[in-house]
Amino acid sequence: MGKHGVKIVAKNKKAYHDYTVEEKYEAGIVLQGTEIKSVRAAKVQLKESFARIKNGEVFIHNMHISEFTHGNRFNHDPLRVRKLLVHKSERLKLEQRINRDGYTLVPLAIYLKDGFAKMELGLAKGKKTHDKRHALKEKDAKREVEKAFRQQQKY
């Protein structure tokens, strides 16, 4: 458990590689009974998931929550479209930025906060291929500098 009863269940590491995240939002997730049990067991994948706003509501698509092992006939569909709970003012702001400025809603992480499943959404713009290469070069250079610094600290 992290601070204030927060336990991170899954992260979307690929999101930071493919997108430039500008703002982050917290949203609740509407889950069925067996889904929350699978989330608590960290059986969630966010790799290819994305969020959309439709008819004034936010939905998450392609988020995979594995079936609960003891779920019998009441088990859920692993790739079911799930509703996200966002404040109206935030939803209107997101909707405006997506439609006008060409942003995308990307799921960044799922976590349990005080017993409730929450999702961190990022308002992001897609990176071009050359931007991804540049970001990787910067990351490698930073890693090399840190490695050299640690080696120098040893002596």
Looking at residue 87, which CATH number applies to its domain? 2.40.280.10
Q: Give domain status of residue 61, yes or no.
A: yes
How far is it, in rounded angstroms, from Cα 155 to Cα 135?
Answer: 31
Q: Give domain status of residue 131, yes or no.
A: no
Q: Give domain status of residue 75, yes or no.
A: yes
| Single pTM value for the model | 0.72
Residue 4 confidence (pLDDT) = 65
Residue 153 confidence (pLDDT) = 78
Residue 3 confidence (pLDDT) = 55
Residue 71 confidence (pLDDT) = 64
Q: Give domain status of residue 101, yes or no.
A: yes
| Tokens coding 56 | 């004034």
The count of structural domains within the chain is: 1
Average pLDDT, the chain: 82
Q: Which residues of the chain have pLDDT under 70?
A: 1-4, 71-72, 74, 77, 130, 155
Q: Give domain status of residue 148, yes or no.
A: no
Q: Give domain status of residue 84, yes or no.
A: yes
Residue type, 49: S
Domain hosting residue 89, numbered range: 3-126
Nearest to 79 by CA among 44, 52, 106, 104: 44
The answer to whether 56 and 85 have CB atoms below 8 angstroms apart is no
Q: Give domain status of residue 135, yes or no.
A: no
Q: Give domain status of residue 139, yes or no.
A: no
